[in-house]
Amino acid sequence: MIIPREYIREACDTVRADGATIVFTNGCFDILHTGHVRYLTAAAEMGDFLVIGLNSDASVRRLKGEGRPIMPEADRAEVLDALRAVDIVTVFDEPTAEELVRLVRPDVYAKGGDYSLDALPEAKIVQAAGGRVELIPFVEGRSTTTVIERIKSGS
């Protein structure tokens, strides 16, 4: 389900009241590929309900530079929402997902193994609230940047 950010806390509180373990992750998810699918599947297996914070188009441009994202946020959200592993998708515009993490209050914050705890300001918020942070192993050779480079090179 794709929901506006202003309803994310209420949605998560409802799920939590039913006893569900909430897992949260965030990212650009520009061109969905095998690495994303494996990552999201692993994240979903860490709990009962997976919430995705999707970087807005403006946020992706700030992070990745001009020419990105390839796919607009509405399309990226729809594709993520179609995945069996994903329960909720919401878009955020800030440089980090810190404020969104405060709203979701996840039991588990999952990120790819290409990150470290020191590089995740969201991790401190999750841990301070009693949640845990899980780093999911990175799938080598499976990244949006690699896909874009292959398309550009014609290979």
Count of domains for the chain: 1
Asked if 80 and 86 count as a contact pair (C-beta separation under 8 A), the reply is yes
Exposed e or buried b per residue across 91-109, where buried means at least 16 C-beta atoms within 10 angstroms of its C-beta: bbeeebbbebbebbbbbbb
65: tokens are: 């530079």
CATH (domain of 142): 3.40.50.620
- Please report which confidence band the pLDDT of residue 119 belongs to, taking 50, 70 and 90 as the band edges: confident
pLDDT class of 4 with cuts at 50, 70, 90: very high
* C-alpha count within 13 angstroms, C-beta hemisphere, residue 114: 10
75-111 pLDDT, tens digit per residue, is 999 999 999 999 999 999 999 999 999 999 999 999 9
Percent of the chain with pLDDT over 90: 75
Rounded to an integer, what is the distance from CA 155 to the centroid of its chain?
29
Summarize the confidence of residues 29-50 as an average pLDDT. 94
Strands 88-92 and 108-112: unpaired
Q: How much is the pLDDT for 117?
A: 78
Amino acid type, 133: V
pTM (global) more than 0.75: yes
First to last CA, the chain: 36
Question: Which pLDDT does position 143 carry in this prediction?
Answer: 65
Contact at 8 Å (CB) between 133 and 109? yes
| pLDDT recorded at residue 149 | 73
Taking the C-alpha atoms of residue 66 and residue 36, their distance in angstroms, rounded to an integer, is 22
Q: Which of 25-29, 60-64, 117-121, 137-141 has the lowest mean pLDDT?
A: 137-141
The domain of 120 spans 5-153
3-state secondary structure of 95: coil
Single-letter code of the amino acid located at 152? K
Confidence of residue 33 (pLDDT cuts 50, 70, 90): confident
pLDDT in tens, 144-155: 666 667 767 777
The tokens describing 64, both together, are 């990745």
